[in-house]
Structure 1
């Protein structure tokens, strides 16, 4: 059953095309994850579906009686709103009253316990969770969620996964939590350069299907280029060597020439940057920190090693960001000391961006750190680094206030890296960073010559980059676990039967690396196929000449027409073989070079 249709929607902001004639059908039971590089229009698409923004062209059509509920990326609240009354406002339970019990249950699951608290007194993360609760109470037939996994801890994420898996309606969401996408979605929609690509799968399946799509596009482009080269040679031969040029063939050449090849997907590129780190790094000795009666950190001692990859986890408000600020020197501990080596240069990617709403231009924001930076591939200018981070030359002169939230986050990350740190402290780096940027950041951290300390609720990210976990536990104690987040979970639940991977100690089998080569018959065909094609073209030209001479003799003309069609069929088959053989010849040559 069709719930809604997006039909031929286009949207332009200034000189930037966000959507270019996109269409999408959404059916009952669809749970859709929307992916794309920050700034490609993910949040805009959600707003268009929710009716908060109008497309420049096209329309969004809902089935009769379909209700929607929308969670914005940055929710706004009425002045003086209280938590519970805001969540239940306009909602009804089965008896027609306010669903107070359901609201309290959901708020509690999301870590909100003071139901009469003024929303204005809450932190940014708490406000987002209150807005999420309002969206989930008495849910509509279509849930539209923009970053529902930001500002929720791992237990909350598991609860939300279960809730959305049990939800019977349609889900359309933007999230960068890849485990969450894997476990909740059954369809992925990717936005890339104004176009939509739909994959009937969760995140893992999407990765495989996208690779197949890109391989097919490249194969099609190789074929187009091969045919184009043949047609170009044909055109260059000229009328003297060719006889009468065939209009259809010239038309095909022009069409091939004007076709666009597959555009390279937008992607962030990073090069390894950093400065030398000496033997002495950062030492934490008996660190304690409390606010009032709440003990956040109690007697924590650890000497950070030169190649440490640390993940810091714990519930919201437990003190993770406080620990990061103590390590960076932004906050003094109540007791204990932090000893920092002389060569330590910290890059701190804070949970909240610094003030990025002014009129300063993007290029100047980065140049304030450095005009040039040394990378593994040589010296690179601020402008070139910005291009690698998908800030085009025209965007580089845009004021910061005009950037989207995700673009600001990406720019802030670049600023941190431009300072060439040897200790990277990442406080919730997955908030508002798109998956493409996260994957490149993860690859970058693999080759980063220094220390990485990451606070994150993103289980996938921690599994990918962390080699040791510190978990905040009761009373401000930090407990050390070896491995990534999944290893931490297994260590915490020894009583549960471990799902051990079957380790069949088979010899690793590798296919024989057989070199590509022509068969005997393919080689003979390759040597003569250009001549065969030319002979067929000459025969077609001769038949066309005879058709002109016998245009009034209908019987003869019918025979000649049939003969021409047969020759053209043979020519098409030869052309297909020419493309195959030339593509094979190119791969053989590349293999031998």
Structure 2
């Protein structure tokens, strides 16, 4: 292990607040570090400091001599007059760069759908972002700093990037520091996690899942210590309050001790929690898409889609960028009418959409947050209590001071929280989320997932965030070649289908086009295609099996712990009975696994 880069007592202040105080961290060869924390706490600033893009006010950043650093930041610095070829490989001849396996891998993984000789000024923001990432990855840096590299990548692209970074260096070589809200990516790539908070950086071993476990344990221990401290505080303050004459005669050190306890009272950091709002009743009929087709500019985007959305259904929608996910959601919400077929909606359906953009707030930019909330009702029932919109907003992480802030001055994450609250205040019973993770930090994502756990209506989610998709939905569908396909095997099945798509063309003669990721449509081959009703029935049975298996695994784990205790107590009669019960549970799990595989195979037809 070789030390690559470090900070020594770094301090940094912005005009309105302090970002870091006496920060000392280090990066060693082989480190793969994920950076998490609330929006605005300094994650991107930390990367810019480490990469040398920003100078600290105090202290210093010390790199190893001749260290090569590369950074993908959030600013768009690509020359709009240059071609993709010039940005990515410069003036090197084709035979030179094409013989480099790493460069071919990067171009195939990120730019396969683009014309290599296209001028970057004609590209969309997301395409330019991919070009910038490709230009960075084709280099040979010792340490990479990546600020939100998964933005504008679909699930396949995110999977490719994780695999590339895991193979980029030999074990123990190179260094990686990445800021991202994609928790699946953090788990797939990172071996260390840095949490940025309260002007410092706290390290944790492992990726996101390990970080969460350690943070929960840290908070538990802190709660124990805090409980003891609060007990001492109450005793001290009770002693100090015993009559005015007595207070003046108390020993000074006792007063100082109590004041110190009060002064050290920490602010609440994890206040982003919103309880379930009352929701309008949803009837038996929700939304049915009946043989729906729709296209743009002569190109059919969705073909013969049939989907009957059930009350309380929780479904995720997968597909490459441009496959038609947003189009499908617009059909469901009524924002778009089909070219063929029809969309049938229940009489009690009240639909709300959390869209990719924040355009819903644009017309209110001239208002302050408090004034916008005043346009809604004055009280709402949440978790059995009556709360004002301002109280609900505070539970979503808005300090009271921000209520007087003009909406146009809010950060992206703050606008996202406000947008979510305004949607919930309308009390819909069908909630549609189109890329809901934009501009949200990991804490806010966890709070949103906690809210969605108790969402009583129907929930439809289109996102490239695999963690959130698997966390809040019970089943997934994919749009492949314009058709909607049920995925009993979830995201893993989707990735297998995409990987199996045959190559049918090339974009620039050097890399595959989008058609190279095509997959045979449902109904291809000699097997008869199952009906939509059969697909739904299979999906529901699979979801029920998975829930039952989860409960059985919990019961098996509990029983094994009880048997371990029985061994200590030498209670062999109880152990024999528990052993028989354990064998029965395991046999049931085995049977359920066989049935799950049988249903999955049937759903593939």
What interval of TM-score do these two structures reach, taking the shorter chain for normalisation?
0.7 to 0.9
1:403 is matched with 410
1:174 is matched with 179
Give me the whole-angstrom Cα distance separating, in 2, the residues matched to 1:176 and 1:7.
27
2:584 is matched with none
After superposition, the Cα gap between the structure-2 partners of 1:362 and 1:58, relative to the gap in structure 1 and judged at 3 Å, is: farther
Aligned ranges for residues 147-166 of structure 1 at < 5 Å? Answer: 147-166=148-167
2:133 is matched with 132
- Equivalent pair of 1:161/1:184 in contact (CA under 8 Å): yes
Q: Which runs of 4+ in 1 moved over 6 A?
A: 90-95, 97-101, 232-238, 244-247, 489-494, 500-505
Deviation at 1:304, TM superposition (A): 0.8
Q: 2:479 aligns with which of 451, 472, 481?
A: 472
After superposition, the Cα gap between the structure-2 partners of 1:387 and 1:436, relative to the gap in structure 1 and judged at 3 Å, is: same
- Equivalent pair of 2:12/2:18 in contact (CA under 8 Å): yes
Does residue 423 of the first structure (1) align with residue 430 of the second (2)? yes
Q: Secondary structure at the match of 1:307?
A: coil
Does residue 65 of the first structure (1) align with residue 69 of the second (2)? no
Deviation at 1:453, TM superposition (A): 0.5
1:265 is matched with 269
After superposition, the Cα gap between the structure-2 partners of 1:415 and 1:142, relative to the gap in structure 1 and judged at 3 Å, is: farther
Deviation at 1:284, TM superposition (A): 0.7
- Equivalent pair of 1:33/1:172 in contact (CA under 8 Å): yes
Q: Secondary structure at the match of 1:333?
A: coil
1:353 is matched with 358
- Equivalent pair of 1:37/1:266 in contact (CA under 8 Å): no
Q: Secondary structure at the match of 1:509?
A: helix
- Equivalent pair of 1:463/1:486 in contact (CA under 8 Å): no
After superposition, the Cα gap between the structure-2 partners of 1:18 and 1:383, relative to the gap in structure 1 and judged at 3 Å, is: farther
Q: Deviations over 1:490-549 (max 9, x none)?
A: 89999xxxxx9997984833978xxxxxxxxxxxxxxxxxxxxxxxxxxxxxxxxxxxxx
Stretch moving more, 186-195 or 395-404: 395-404
Aligned ranges for residues 65-464 of structure 1 at < 5 Å? Answer: 65-89=66-90, 103=103, 105-110=105-110, 111-168=112-169, 169-228=174-233, 250=254, 253=257, 256-257=260-261, 260-273=264-277, 274-292=279-297, 294-354=299-359, 358-368=365-375, 372-464=379-471
- Equivalent pair of 1:33/1:188 in contact (CA under 8 Å): yes
1:533 is matched with none
TM-score of the superposition, structure 2-length normalised? 0.73
Does residue 508 of the first structure (1) align with residue 558 of the second (2)? yes
- Equivalent pair of 2:31/2:191 in contact (CA under 8 Å): yes
Q: Deviations over 1:206-260 (max 9, x none)?
A: 111112211222222233344455666787899x99xx9988x659836853551
Give me the whole-angstrom Cα distance separating, in 2, the residues matched to 1:489 and 1:38.
31
Give me the whole-angstrom Cα distance separating, in 1, the residues matched to 2:218 and 2:95.
47
After superposition, the Cα gap between the structure-2 partners of 1:116 and 1:92, relative to the gap in structure 1 and judged at 3 Å, is: closer
Question: Rg larger in 1 or in 2?
Answer: 1
1:481 is matched with 487
1:542 is matched with none
1:47 is matched with 48
Deviation at 1:427, TM superposition (A): 0.9
Give me the whole-angstrom Cα distance separating, in 2, the residues matched to 1:447 and 1:50.
42
Deviation at 1:318, TM superposition (A): 0.9
Q: Secondary structure at the match of 1:7?
A: strand
Q: Deviations over 1:36-93 (max 9, x none)?
A: 1223222222233333344444433322222322212353433333222122349999
Give me the whole-angstrom Cα distance separating, in 1, the residues matched to 2:242 and 2:405.
51
- In structure 1, stretches of 5+ residues that fail to align are 495-499, 513-593
Give me the whole-angstrom Cα distance separating, in 2, the residues matched to 1:331 and 1:321.
10
Deviation at 1:124, TM superposition (A): 3.0
Deviation at 1:311, TM superposition (A): 0.6
Give me the whole-angstrom Cα distance separating, in 2, the residues matched to 1:352 and 1:486.
28
Deviation at 1:436, TM superposition (A): 1.4
Give me the whole-angstrom Cα distance separating, in 2, the residues matched to 1:158 and 1:310.
21
Give me the whole-angstrom Cα distance separating, in 2, the residues matched to 1:93 and 1:145.
27
Give me the whole-angstrom Cα distance separating, in 2, the residues matched to 1:47 and 1:224.
39
Give me the whole-angstrom Cα distance separating, in 1, the residues matched to 2:498 and 2:105.
26
Give me the whole-angstrom Cα distance separating, in 2, the residues matched to 1:227 and 1:90.
71
- Equivalent pair of 1:284/1:338 in contact (CA under 8 Å): yes
Q: Secondary structure at the match of 2:113?
A: coil
Provide the aligned length of Structure 1 versus Structure 2.
501
Q: Deviations over 1:119-178 (max 9, x none)?
A: 233333322222211221114222111111222122222211111112332111111222
Stretch moving more, 101-110 or 267-276: 101-110
2:7 is matched with 6
Give me the whole-angstrom Cα distance separating, in 2, the residues matched to 1:366 and 1:229.
38
TM-score of the superposition, structure 1-length normalised? 0.75
